[in-house]
Structure 1
Amino acid sequence: MGRYVLRRLLQLIPVFFGATLLIYALVWAVPGDPFAGKCGERACPDSYVQFMTEKYHLDDPWPVQYVYYMGHLLTGDFGQTFGGREISEIIAQAYPNTLKLALMGLLIEGVIGLTAGILTGLRRNGFLDNLVLVSTLFLLAIPTFVSGFLLQFVLGTQFRIIDPTVAEGAPFWDYLVPGFVLASISMAYVARLTRTSIAENSRSDYVRTAVAKGLPQRRVVGVHLLRNSLIPVITFLGTDLGSLMGGAIVTEGIFSINGIGREVYRAIVTKESATVVGIVVVLVMVYLLMNLLVDLLYAALDPRIRYE
């Protein structure tokens, strides 16, 4: 196990540098003047533009800029915005809010999606099965911004069950409705994926053998059927944490959550490329670590999988 983890960690290194290189190249290719609007309605003085260009190495080719950036990043320095604010400070302020939102969404899609998928997978073609299939199709058909504004208006404005916006430093449970909005589509995928996986594995030879041996139904389902059926679901849930964090920009805008999605949007509008790259680098690290965790969970779910 230790050798496998070390090998996987070493494999993450080229993936990390490749992903950051691609992100930096894409951000650098965005057209526009990074100093537009920095000096109000008037154009910035040439001395200011020259000073900022030299400070941030903007006159160098983008591969050279990337080398400078990674050299500072590996020492823990995410750089500064054109206004002089530390990007690490922006991430430290916005990241916890997005993490709460994403974890709440992951919890909702895991609990509700898995429960619905397991029940419908074990009792196919019944009323509950048809109800879940129709409900998940309904969730998949509704865009996130529609469900977000609808729940905000009904629960927050009309019935005043929740606050229409999430305040800074709000407790974890205040993210319940925003988390449901964020995870609604993924929850539908989890329910359908779990149902399909259980339906396929229930016809497997090892399940039939367990039933033929006279094992209790609870043991057949819990030990033999469910553990093997959860492998594709765990894969989806593990990688979905990064997707929820990266795709939270709409939900954060609806509920006025000061998260990394809003910060990325502001940075793109104001041409703060260093801020965009710094935030996306953090998301890349989340993706890589979650993929490693999912790989390690495979052995716990399926005893046939062994790491050497």
Structure 2
Amino acid sequence: MGRYVLRRLLQLIPVFIGTTFLIYAMVWAVPGDPFAGKCGERPCPESYVKEMTEQFNLDDPLVVQYFKYLAQLFSGDFGETYNGVQISQLIANAYPTTVRLALVALVIEAVIGVLAGIITGLRGKGFLDSLVLVSTLFLISLPVFVTGFVLKVWLGTELDLIKTSVGSDPTFGELLVPGFVLGSLSMAYVARLTRTSMMENKRADYVRTAYAKGLEPRRVVGVHLLRNSMIPVITFLGTDLGALMGGAIVTEGVFNIRGIGGLVYKAILTKEGMTVTGIVTLLVLVYLLMNLLVDILYAVLDPRIRYD
């Protein structure tokens, strides 16, 4: 296991360099003057443009710019915005809120989705199975912003059960409804994936053998059927954390949450390429580390999988 983890960590290095280079290239390849509008209605002075060009290495070739940025990043410096604000401070203020929101969404989609999938997978076709299939199809069909606005108006304006605007430092309780909205689409997929996996493994030879040996149904389901059926679900949930953090722009906008999504959106509008690159680089790290964690969990869930 130790060798496998070390090998996977080494494999993450070229993947990290490749993905972050593509991100850097795409962000800085956006057409237009990056200094437009930075000095109000009048054009920026030549001295300001020259200073900013040198500070962000815009005169260097793209590859040289990237490796200078990478060296700066590894030293813990995410750089500055054009206004001189430290990007690390912006991320430190916004990132914890988005992490909490993504974790709430992940827990909601895991608990509700997995439970719905297990129950319908074990019971088979019937009213409950049809209800889950119709409900998940309904959630998949609805855009996230529609779900968010409906719940915001219904629970916030009509019933006055939630705040229509989340505070600057929200608690986990305040993020329950936004978390449900953010994770609603993934929750539907998790329920369907768990249901399908359970129904397929329920007919597997090892399950029939376990029943033939006289094992209790609870042990067959909990130890044999459930552990093997959770492998594709764990894969989806593990990689979904990064997607939830990166896809929170709409949800954060609906509930006025000051997180990474709003920060990225404003940075794109103002052409703050360094801010966009720094945030997306963090999301890439989350994706890579979660993929590594999922691979390690495979051996825990399925004893047939061994890493030599």
- Give the TM-score of the pair, scaled to structure 1: 0.99
Name structure 1 gaps, 5 residues minimum. none
The separation in 2 between residues aligned to 1:48 and 1:73, in whole angstroms, is 24
Q: In the alignment, what sits opposite 1:133?
A: 133
Deviation at 1:61, TM superposition (A): 1.9
Q: Percent identity?
A: 70
Deviation at 1:46, TM superposition (A): 1.4
Structural mapping, 1:197-236, within 5 Å = 197-236=197-236
Structural mapping, 1:10-159, within 5 Å = 10-159=10-159
Is 1:192 aligned with 2:192?
A: yes
Deviation at 1:29, TM superposition (A): 1.2
Counterpart of 1:36 in 2: which secondary structure? Answer: coil
The separation in 2 between residues aligned to 1:171 and 1:281, in whole angstroms, is 26
The separation in 2 between residues aligned to 1:142 and 1:265, in whole angstroms, is 23
Over residues 226-283 of structure 1, what are the superposed CA-to-partner deviations in whole Å (9 max), with x where a residue is unaligned? 0000000000000000000000000000111111111111111111100000000100
The separation in 2 between residues aligned to 1:158 and 1:130, in whole angstroms, is 30
Would you say how many aligned residue pairs link Structure 1 and Structure 2?
Answer: 308
Deviation at 1:18, TM superposition (A): 0.7
Structural mapping, 1:147-296, within 5 Å = 147-296=147-296
Counterpart of 2:173 in 1: which secondary structure? Answer: helix
The separation in 2 between residues aligned to 1:124 and 1:31, in whole angstroms, is 55
Counterpart of 1:172 in 2: which secondary structure? Answer: coil
Deviation at 1:60, TM superposition (A): 1.7
| Shift >6 Å, 4+ stretches | none
Over residues 103-131 of structure 1, what are the superposed CA-to-partner deviations in whole Å (9 max), with x where a residue is unaligned? 00000000000000000000111110000
The separation in 1 between residues aligned to 2:120 and 2:96, in whole angstroms, is 35
Counterpart of 1:51 in 2: which secondary structure? Answer: helix
The separation in 2 between residues aligned to 1:33 and 1:150, in whole angstroms, is 39
Over residues 187-230 of structure 1, what are the superposed CA-to-partner deviations in whole Å (9 max), with x where a residue is unaligned? 00000000000000011000000111111110110011000000
Deviation at 1:57, TM superposition (A): 1.2
AA aligned to 2:36 is A
Counterpart of 1:244 in 2: which secondary structure? Answer: helix
Deviation at 1:172, TM superposition (A): 1.2
AA aligned to 2:205 is D
The separation in 2 between residues aligned to 1:233 and 1:55, in whole angstroms, is 46
AA aligned to 2:217 is Q
AA aligned to 1:265 is Y
